[in-house]
Structure formats: structure tokens, C-alpha cells
Structure 1
Amino acid sequence: MEIKAECFKALGDDTRLKILMMLSDGEKCACDIQENFQLKQPTISHHMKILQQTGLVHVEKRGRWMFYGLNNELLQKLQQFIDTELINDNQLDYILADQDCDGTRNKQT
């Protein structure tokens, strides 16, 4: 569960989400990622390090360039977690209480 929490924390940043969206159509060189943002190289490196540490992206060094790509296997596992654990009819019974905190609403069926 801790790995999922770290991934969701990493996904909670707008810049990192945009980077993942860029990578959705294939691997990108670090310089290609940087040119799409108004950020300096150390800031992009920080975001890439977080994405890499969580396992959301993989990195490959080719010569002097770093290429980043999505870890589709992990992203599919996160999607499966959302689909089966968070959006599961059995879980909804647990989430929906019989009453509001003030005790006024009964569970609707």
C-alpha cells in the first residue's frame, strides 16, 4: 500500500502529471521534456527523480542523454487498484453511512 501512496503523492503535482502525459506517446529525452516547461534543468531533474523513485517512469542513458518512458505495468496496477479497490460496489456500502454525522439522513437504497 505504501508504494501506491507514494505514487499518488507523485501524481499530485501538476508538472509531474504533465510530464507523464508527454511520455504517454513514447520515450522522451530529458532535453525534450525541459523545452516544454518554463523550468530550469535542476527543477525538471527533481521532478524526474521523484517519478523515477516511485517507479512511474524508467530511465535509460544513451550516450550523454537520459531518456524517460512510462512504466506501463505500474500504471496498469494503479488503474486496477482504483477500479477494484476504490470504485467497487462492495466498498460503496462501507463508504455510505446509514446516517450523516448529525444523524439526519438514512441510507438510500
Structure 2
Amino acid sequence: MTVRELPVLDQPEVVACCAPLAAEVLTAPEADTLAKQFAALADPVRLRLVSLLATDEGGAVCACDLVEPVGRSQPTVSHHLKVLVDAGLVTSERRGRNVWYATVPAALEALRTALAAR
């Protein structure tokens, strides 16, 4: 039986690999940043885009290669990528006529830390 097949209440206890970086109350600017980032991830297409970018072996993906996997038009994918860039979760670089995207590891780690803080 895989973890996905277990009912939600029967999930095994998850042990964090490391302690949260901060255990203090968030400042207003920190809360604003995290809220913007979590809001950007609150869309299934954007969440899928981050997943595709984060798991790519090359570290960066051309926007043109993200259209088919998410099943959306190129303008829609570009819009979602812009939201992720504006939230600081993804970075972009123009190479000729194409734009390449990659995740910002420190931003993703900050989200993990915020969720792990107790």
C-alpha cells in the first residue's frame, strides 16, 4: 500500500529533516511576502508549473515547453508564470526569442519553513 492509498487520518507521522529557521512571530513585511507567495500557489495551474520547474533536471525550462504539460494556451501559461515571478517564487531569463524559467530555491524553502514553524 502506498502513502497515497492511506486515508487522511491514517497518514504516517512526518518527521521534519531540520528545525525551522525561525520560531518568532512574523513581522508585517514577512507576512505580506508569504501571503503573496501562498496566494500565487493557490491556483492549480501555477502549483503545477512550480512542480514542473522544481523537478526539471536542467534547472530551467523554456516557457514554450510548459504549455503542453499544463494543457493551457501560451498566453495563459505566460500569465501564470508572470504571477509566480512577481511573487518571487520563479525567476526568468530571456534567451533570444524565448523566456526560460526556474524556481527560486530560497523562496520555496522560506515557504517550507513557514509551514514547519510551530
Q: TM-score range by the shorter chain?
A: 0.7 to 0.9
Given that residues 67 and 74 in structure 2 are in contact (C-alpha distance below 8 angstroms), is that contact kept between their aligned partners in structure 1?
Answer: yes
Which of structures 1 and 2 has the larger relative contact order (alpha carbons within 8 angstroms, sep 6+)?
2
- Largest Rg, 1 or 2: 1
In structure 1, what is the equivalent of residue 43 of structure 2? 13
Aligned alpha-carbon RMSD (Å): 0.9
CA distance in 2, matches of 1:72, 1:3: 15
Identity %: 39
The alpha carbon displacement at 1:42 in A equals 1.1
Is residue 103 of structure 2 the alignment partner of residue 70 of structure 1? yes
Q: Distance in 2 between matches of 1:37 and 1:10?
A: 16
Q: TM-score scaled by structure 1?
A: 0.74
Residue aligning to 1:83: 116
User: Runs of 4 or more off by more than 2 Å in structure 1?
Assistant: none
Query: What SS class does the counterpart of residue 94 from structure 2 fall into?
Result: strand
Contact 2:53 2:102 in 1 (8 A): yes
The one of 32, 47, 53 equivalent to 1:2 is 32
Shift of residue 41 of structure 1?
1.2
What one-letter code is carried by the residue in structure 2 that aligns with 1:18?
R
Contact map agreement 2:62 2:101 (CA 8 A) in 1: yes
1:60 CA drift (Å): 0.5
Corresponding position of 1:58: 91
Conserved 8 A contact 2:53-2:61: yes
* AA at the equivalent of 1:51: L
Query: Unmatched 5+ residue regions in structure 2?
Result: 1-30
How many residue pairs match? The answer is: 85
Give the TM-score of the pair, scaled to structure 2: 0.69
